[in-house]
Amino acid sequence: MTDARTPSPAGARAATSRLGWLHFLNDFTLDFLTPLLPSSVPAAWVGLMEGLADGLGQALKLITGRASDRSGRRASWVAGGYLVNAAARPLAAVGMLLSWPLWIVSCRIADRIGKGLRGSATDALISDWTKGEARTLAFARMRTMDHLGAAAGGAAAAIAAWQLGADQIWIAVAGLVVITAVVAWIAAGLRDAPQPTTKPGADGWWPSDPALRRPLLATGLATAGVKLSPLLILIHVAGLPADASGGAGGAGGAGTWPLWAICLGWSALGLIQAGSAWIAGAIAARIGPGPMARWGWVAGAAAIASLAWAEGTWLIVAGLATGVVLGASEGAEKAWLADICPRHERARTFGALAIISAVAGLIANGLVGWLLVAWGPQIFLIAGGLGLLAVAVGGRTAPPAGA
């Protein structure tokens, strides 16, 4: 039976406010812990840790997205995922204290499992509570809170690294348990939007609406072209050796920086991306999230392609421009997909987006990293071309009635 109830403006503001603060606190703890990990985890373990953690997290988004669509419930998945995140991070202090890298790796994997539990349902819950311009602004606000949390976390990590010795870092990480309690309190107040699914969700694992095919493909192409790993951009912009023979941390490289300076740089990047996400949200509310995403890809293609020929100061400018595009585009992409997909496939759609983005990013970053050594910076021209192809594939897609 279809219920005509719709979310009230007050209820939508309360729900998105809670989600915004959960985004902030989650990224605060994540970006507080992440730059401190190399002080306790060997490089070989870091690769294993990040690969396993991200793979599990992305795969879970599709599984939990399907489960959320079939049940019509979002809030319980969101609350559970945030609680797993918030609990796993302070537990890493045990591994730091006892010098157990495997414990830290396990905590990191548990952390990404939490993201897999909540990721698709979180975006679907935002979509359920909002529509139109309010939805576009809500997704932009979430990205802004993400990056502000990252900036604050990075700054706090810089202070901790400056004040504490390497053998005392675990104390600061253990202190994250205070934020765990705050997250639990905020998450307990989450509620599903008061509008039931208008028809049962399909049993398939992939969104069935044909209107989603081109936007999902376009977003995957954009990921491969204009959302390359910031580490690859850093290697090129900073002039660090890109091959294994030189290593990326020799004289003048990031390896010569003290830990607090690395954390502070992490914080600065978060501030830049928060600003770009906020501005992009305001623009998207006026012109629509679809056009904003496509214009963002055009700008990203130009910034990435310019890395092929820029030198000196202009190379730094081009590198910073790619960071701005990364902060500006994701919110518009998600709002665009939310406008297009029917409610009963929202969480599954965001799960599909996670899988497509993960695969596209893995292939693109691997190829660019290899060809940057074998061919040179001209590879960035091809990456920019993929961004323009994404614009052509995306085209104009109208949302279904009632979305």
Burial group, residue 5, by CB count within 10 angstroms (0-12, 13-18, 19+)? exposed
Per-residue pLDDT of 126-162, as tens digits, reads: 999 998 889 989 999 998 999 899 889 888 888 888 8
Length of the chain: 403
User: What is the mean predicted confidence (pLDDT) over 170-193?
Assistant: 93
Residues 206 and 348 sit within 8 Å (Cβ to Cβ): yes
Tokens of 399: 């949302």
Residue 402 — very low, low, confident or very high, per pLDDT cuts 50/70/90? very low
User: What is the mean predicted confidence (pLDDT) over 395-401?
Assistant: 56
Burial group, residue 401, by CB count within 10 angstroms (0-12, 13-18, 19+)? exposed
Least confident of 5-9, 66-70, 253-257, 340-344: 253-257
Residue at token pair 């349902």: 121
Radius of gyration of the chain (CA): 21
Residue 2 — very low, low, confident or very high, per pLDDT cuts 50/70/90? very low
Instruction: Examine residue 315 and state whether it is found in any structural domain, yes or no.
Output: yes
Phi, psi for residue 163 in degrees, rounded to 5: -90, -30
Phi, psi for residue 189 in degrees, rounded to 5: -90, 0
CATH number at residue 17: 1.20.1250.20
Residue of higher predicted confidence among 236 and 122? 122
Instruction: Examine residue 268 and state whether it is found in any structural domain, yes or no.
Output: yes
Residue at token pair 């104009």: 396
Residue 31 — very low, low, confident or very high, per pLDDT cuts 50/70/90? confident
Q: Tell me how far apart the alpha carbons of residues 81 and 74 are, in angstroms, rounded to a whole number.
A: 11
Instruction: Examine residue 1 and state whether it is found in any structural domain, yes or no.
Output: no
Instruction: Examine residue 197 and state whether it is found in any structural domain, yes or no.
Output: no
Q: What is the DSSP letter of 22?
A: H
Instruction: Examine residue 4 and state whether it is found in any structural domain, yes or no.
Output: no
Number of domains in the chain: 1
Q: How far is CA 118 from CA 62, 271, 360, in A?
A: 11, 25, 22
User: What is the mean predicted confidence (pLDDT) over 180-207?
Assistant: 78
Instruction: Examine residue 401 and state whether it is found in any structural domain, yes or no.
Output: no
Q: Tell me how far apart the alpha carbons of residues 19 and 121 are, in angstroms, rounded to a whole number.
A: 12
Instruction: Examine residue 403 and state whether it is found in any structural domain, yes or no.
Output: no
Residue 3 — very low, low, confident or very high, per pLDDT cuts 50/70/90? very low
Is the pLDDT at 69 greater than 70? The verdict is yes
Residues 56 and 84 sit within 8 Å (Cβ to Cβ): no
Residue 259 — very low, low, confident or very high, per pLDDT cuts 50/70/90? low
Is the pLDDT at 85 greater than 90? The verdict is yes
Residue 245 — very low, low, confident or very high, per pLDDT cuts 50/70/90? very low
Residue 180 zone, left/alpha/beta (φ > 0; ψ -120 to 50; rest): alpha
Q: Tell me how far apart the alpha carbons of residues 220 and 88 are, in angstroms, rounded to a whole number.
A: 30
Least confident of 135-149, 150-164, 222-236, 276-290: 222-236
Contacts of 237 (CB under 8 A, 6+ apart): 307, 315, 316, 318, 319
Residue 248 — very low, low, confident or very high, per pLDDT cuts 50/70/90? very low
Instruction: Examine residue 303 and state whether it is found in any structural domain, yes or no.
Output: yes
Helix (H) or strand (E) holding 347: helix 346-374
Residue at token pair 């989450």: 190
Residue 358 — very low, low, confident or very high, per pLDDT cuts 50/70/90? confident
Per-residue pLDDT of 91-107, as tens digits, reads: 999 988 998 888 888 88
Q: Identify the domain containing residue 15 by its residue range.
A: 9-192+202-394
Residue at token pair 């003048």: 252
